[in-house]
Structure 1
Amino acid sequence: MPEVDIARVFREEHGRAIASLVRVFGDVDVAEEAVQDAFAAAVQRWPDEGMPASPAGWIITTARRRAIDRLRRESSREDKHAQAALLCAGSEREEEGVVRDDRLRLIFTCCHPALGTAAQVALTLRLLGGLTTPEIARAFLVPEPTMAQRIVRAKGKIRDARIPYRVPREADLPARLTSVLAVVYLIFNEGYTASSGTEPVRDDLCAEAVRLGRLLAELMPDEPEVLGLLALMLLTESRRPTRVGPGGDLVRLGDQDRSRWDRALIAEGQALVRACLRRDRPGPYQIQAAINAVHSDAQSAAATDWGQIVMLYDQLLECTPTPVVALHRAVAVAEVTGPAAALALVDDLSLDAYHVFHAVRADLLHRLDRDEEAAAAYEAAIARTANAAEQDLLRRARAELE
């Protein structure tokens, strides 16, 4: 059996297995180590025995057995922590609470107010998204050692403060919502544009993020930012069939065949945007969803209402005044007032570690007939992404300069 199949199962089932075992044992370290042991066993056994009928069930069952064996050994040495985890495993009771889905429940649990927002999001991406520390570091635009320390500190704080892994009360959910939404959105982004590897898109992460978004909308239907995030993901997801060409190459938004966009997802996403507008409580996800709704309305890139998009980005900058938002606004400005005005905005941003920043600069420089500088900017962009498909797209753009 090819190793790639085991890797696929890991990507698709890692979060589910972790969430299931955290519910059983009440301990994230026990769950993580047990799931890692189970996948190590799969690597040894599945090539000879074949993949089981239910890979997820096999992983969870094996991980649970490994965890119980380990805890029994440790509890015999009077380890109170191990004894408590064994008691949790033996109780076999379904935990009460408004959040029924294991993975969504673990997200809310990890987003405890005792942790900083960045630590909450990073830890949950590690556990549920199955993202590696380098992938999470790239999502946050921070060095890998910084992110590794952040995750270790988050786990340590949970352990030292004895923060319980339990379902938060219904009254606690709104206070944790900002972090929960950030987690779901980052999982979707990592799926839609994988930060590393040979595959440009990770379908499993996109599907999981949309699934979680739908669950959140059912759980908190009166929260407009929940609806906004779901709309944003659906509208973005509608373009995925045209985002990768027949040869596996990434296709830019302006070059995509819009007749192949998923009209059902667009209709659902636009309906959610209209529902948000009626509530008149704008937030970052709702505004981003509205921007994507404008794109989905246009029959072609040339027919896009870029003026409306600039105005929406102005509103988004008021809510989220970040360099990344300013960069995307500059892309829209280039379509309204020209590349020179956009380049002046871009050159004021401090985003040297972000490959999209250099790619945008390269495109603007090319449109200004400054191809030597554009080539250097493309080289900088290529050096700052670990995704092979993105690197190929940037190399093709650089080659077109010649």
Structure 2
Amino acid sequence: MEPFLQSTPPPPGPGCAAGIAFFDVETTRPTPEWPRRALLEFGVILVCPRTLVHLGTYSTLIRPFDLPSLPPSELFRSNGITPEAIAAAPHFSEVASIVFRFLDGRVWAGHNVEAFDSARIREAFAGVGMAAPQPSGFIDSLPLLRRKFGRRTTDMQMATLATHFGLGRQLHRCLDDVRMNIEILKCCGMLLLLEPEPERPPATSNSAFQEIREISLDLIGASLVPARPSRTGCKIQLLHRDSPLQIRCPALAVRYGPNRRYCDAAGRPKLSFLVEADPVLCMFLDACENIARTMSLDSGSSSGWTRAVEYNSTCNAFLARLRIPGRADTDDIAYATEVHRRFPSGETCVVVFDRLDEAEQDQLFLPGTLLDAYIRLDAYDSHEKAGILLVVERLVIHCT
């Protein structure tokens, strides 16, 4: 068996023209006697980000310096890598310069590449006293598909996805797994492209929302209305002049960005963020809570009341939590809030919020960012807790 093979060489030098480095590693199994993972195989395919044409391929088996004398079944997977093949392979120090050339300065891609494979590469270079290659970015298909592909399969393991798309069995050999990873991404992309766009609710009318400073507190009331179909009983509906109370709060300042700590019943993250509440907003919400809480007590509820505004001693400010609601008409991670950007020129543009990854979403809500929020006030009483949720129907984010 050849200890390594190299087909077409990589383009000279790093950079975007050099392609995306899809790579994979195979390692020993950790055991109580030898808990570390030693590198046994490395494989990489360079792909053009514009055409998906393969620009270069390299694969090699690697012989660890200090492989212990344990039974092969304890150290090796059942994937065709044998002690005899490893004994004929080069040490990592003999191939490190080639690996470096394929990886340094390129986007690193793979399934769980950021958490696992890249760590093994850095360990291997440290083990031979060489500086490790540095990525220009990551495309990790494991979290990417969890976020974009939703719950179409039982899990996002590559073997499960391969079975789902009829791509065969995962072999746990580097180049085979890299090729399978690329094909899975192509299949997922094609499926998402062919799926019809779910119908979105009609655009929110600004006229349904009243400027908070123009609302007369004396005209705020409440009534009991039927709960949504999935719940029994009634819920409290806050009203202004006998219409559902919806408010517009201009120029709110973000204090803390998105929180995704909690998930809904389908496992999708609930998205919320904290804004500074000025005295006008605090007074308004106090009035609404007094009305809703009185009706809650009169209705026989014994749930503890959670305030919509809380004082935060760390930042010495009153903070209100705004919630971006998820959409119930899809299994994907999707949100119902309309999001717009407003530029200093006065022009606005729509932000397709669902298509942003978490890092891009976080960039919209950096501390100090000003935004206009169109808010629906939802009273709730569930699991011994009651209060008012500030649900954002529309956001206009001020861009500097």
TM-score, scaled relative to structure 2: 0.25
Work out which of the two has the higher radius of gyration on C-alpha atoms and give 1 or 2: 2
Q: 1 or 2, which has the higher strand percentage? A: 2
Higher relative contact order (CA 8 A, sep 6+): 2
